[in-house]
Amino acid sequence: MSWFSIASAVFRFLGGDTAKSLLAAYQAHLTANNNDHKIAADLAAQEVTAQTAETQAVTQLKIAQIGHPWEVEKLFAYVTLSYYAKLLIWDKVIGSLAGYTESIFVTDPLRSYDAIWGGMIISYYFAKRGFENIMQILKR
């Protein structure tokens, strides 16, 4: 069993467009008998390189658009989300289904500035993308 047959078996097992392109490019390189075939093999290798670069660029764009989960604005959202999740899921849904009125199923309501800040954080997340879209349209 040659190295090429082992590699082709591994690439077939892994699958995917990049693996198939690599396998086809290497096979074209091995079977190239004249200059035309060598040029085709080189073009196939360049295509694989371009596909890999494009995939990496798309990944970097997604990271740039989404950001990291530990950014300050996301930390505020996690705190607000945990409060409302406890309030809605634990207190209202589970507490009302079980018929409990004990203190573990009762959350104190937000008051004054706490309620204002909670509303502002939630509004920020729902309005942010809309404002970004409007600014992109106006920038054009």
Could you tell me if 73 and 133 lie in one domain? yes
Least confident of 31-35, 42-46, 60-64, 92-96: 31-35
In order of 7, 11, 29, 44, 140, the CA distances from 32 in angstroms are: 18, 21, 5, 12, 50
Neighbours of 16 (CB within 10 A): 9
State whether 91 and 132 are in the same domain.
Answer: yes
DSSP one-letter code for 108 = P
Domain match, 92 and 121 both: yes
Burial class (CB in 10 A: 0-12, 13-18, 19+), 24: middle
Q: Answer yes or no: do 20 and 39 share one domain.
A: yes
Where among 64, 86, 115 does a domain terminate?
A: 64
Question: How does pLDDT run across 36-83, given as a tens digit for each residue?
Answer: 677 877 888 888 888 888 988 988 887 777 777 777 777 877 888 888
- The full length of the chain comes to 140
pTM: 0.39
Same domain, 73 and 125: yes
Q: Are residues 78 and 49 in the same domain?
A: no
Q: Output the six-digit token pair for 35.
A: 């200059």
pLDDT tier for residue 115 given thresholds of 50, 70 and 90: confident
pLDDT at 11: 60
The DSSP line for 111-139 is -HHHHHHHHHHHHHHHHHHHHHHHHHHHH
- 59 and 95, same domain (yes or no): no
Name the residue range of residue 83's domain: 68-139
- DSSP letter at 99 equals T
| Contact partners, residue 40, CB within 8 Å, separation at least 6 | 28, 32
Domain count, the chain: 2
